[in-house]
Structure formats: C-alpha cells, structure tokens
Chain A
C-alpha cells in the first residue's frame, strides 16, 4: 500500500517568506509526527497529533512554527518568516496509534533551503 508522502520534495525560499509543508500519512493511521534534521545533525522532534486530542507541540523551536491536521488525515507544517537556521529536511511520520509500541513510518522528507 501507499506509504507516507510529503510535498514538496524540495523547497527553496528567501529569508522572511512563509512556507507550508504537506504530509499525507498512511490511511487509517491516527498518529502523525513531524521531525526535522539539520545538516549533519540527528533528528529533532517537533510536534505530534493523536486523533482528536490536543497536539503535543513541545518540540516546536519557536512561535514561527505551527502545524495543523485536518480531518484526522493530512497535516501541514507552516513556518512563518523563515530564517536561514530553518534550513533542514523536514520529516513526517505516522503510526497506527500513538504509543511506544507502534512502529512509525517515515516519509521521504521535504528539504527546505532558506537563502
């Protein structure tokens, strides 16, 4: 079946512009996660959604970052007034349920470059 998809695969933007990154999770997965990976760095948790519960936003680095998940499916990560330090690969993952025992399936990522 289809895996997690993300779009765009690459995004180049100018400093100060807003960007939206999209994630389509695996159908039926109730949990959705966003991570980012800066050049040469490990993966950093950003936010996760579980069903209709309030999202866990504890990893968002600043108030310029926000995310929505509409209808329990597609999610959009928005970065306002982008800065050069926002350049990274943004990865989305989904799992059937939230919880330690649920395998997370990762998408291919969106590579964001802020000039």
Chain B
C-alpha cells in the first residue's frame, strides 16, 4: 500500500470550508484513496473514497489530482462536530486492509 503524508494538525473556523490535503505520490493504478475520520473515543467513520474522478457525497467532496499523486478532502461547512482526526489512506483494490497513518487533527473553532 502506498504511503500517505498529511499535515499533523489544522484549524478551521466554524461554517467555513475545511480543506485537508494528502500526498500519495507512490500510489499505484489500482489503489483507491479513502478518507476516514475518528472522533475522540469513537471508532473510525468512513467519509468518502475515490480512484480517479472527483467524488462528492453528503459529508464531503474529494478532489484527486490528475496524476493521482495528491488529493484534498473538503468539508464544505465545517461544524464543531467535525473536530476529529482525519485519515487519508491509499489502499489496494484487492483487499479492504486499511493502513492508517497518523492523520490530520482538525480543530473546528467557533
């Protein structure tokens, strides 16, 4: 599985868009980009995933660069409840095994 690199922490003002970057320069052609988040003392929660195209769901948008070497998770209107550790993962399409890195701690402030 490709290694991912994320900033250790970020702040975002409540109501603003939170843009969380991720580098995955060694990603292979069959590896998806996933995002999960973990709110304090809870199990991780799936957010979104993508392969090549940009994706959007009710929680977030995922923008993947054309060369697939990086991506950005966008929370369009961050709320205090979005404060969490956000994990970007590049995973094999053959298994569901997720290799988590250290993630980005997002602090949404009033």
Q: Which residues of A contact B (CB under 8 A)?
A: 4, 31, 33, 35, 42-45, 48, 50, 56, 58-59, 91, 93, 95, 97-109
Query: Does A100 lie within 8 Å of B96, measured CB to CB?
Result: yes
Cβ of B4 to closest chain A Cβ, rounded Å: 11
Query: Does B103 lie within 8 Å of A108, measured CB to CB?
Result: no
A56 interface neighbour in B95, B100, B101, Cβ under 8 Å: B95
Residue on B nearest A103 in the bound complex, by CB: B46
Residues on A with C-beta less than 8 A from B102 are 42
Question: Roughly how many angstroms separate A47 CA and B57 CA in the complex, as a whole number?
Answer: 29
Q: Which of A31, A42, A107, A108 has the most CB of B within 10 A?
A: A42
Cβ of B24 to closest chain A Cβ, rounded Å: 13
Question: Roughly how many angstroms separate A102 CA and B18 CA in the complex, as a whole number?
Answer: 25
Q: Which of B87, B92, B96 has the most CB of A within 10 A?
A: B96
Query: Does A33 lie within 8 Å of B43, measured CB to CB?
Result: no
Residues on B with C-beta less than 8 A from A48 are 95-97
Q: Which residues of B contact A (CB under 8 A)?
A: 30-32, 34, 36, 38, 42-46, 49, 87, 91-103
A106 interface neighbour in B44, B97, B99, Cβ under 8 Å: B44
Question: Roughly how many angstroms separate A42 CA and B96 CA in the complex, as a whole number?
Answer: 17
Can you sample 26 A-B contacts with CB below 8 Å? A31-B96, A33-B98, A43-B38, A43-B98, A43-B100, A44-B100, A45-B98, A45-B100, A58-B97, A91-B44, A93-B44, A98-B95, A100-B30, A100-B32, A100-B93, A100-B95, A102-B96, A103-B46, A104-B96, A104-B98, A105-B46, A106-B43, A106-B44, A106-B45, A107-B43, A108-B43
Question: Roughly how many angstroms separate A107 CA and B44 CA in the complex, as a whole number?
Answer: 8
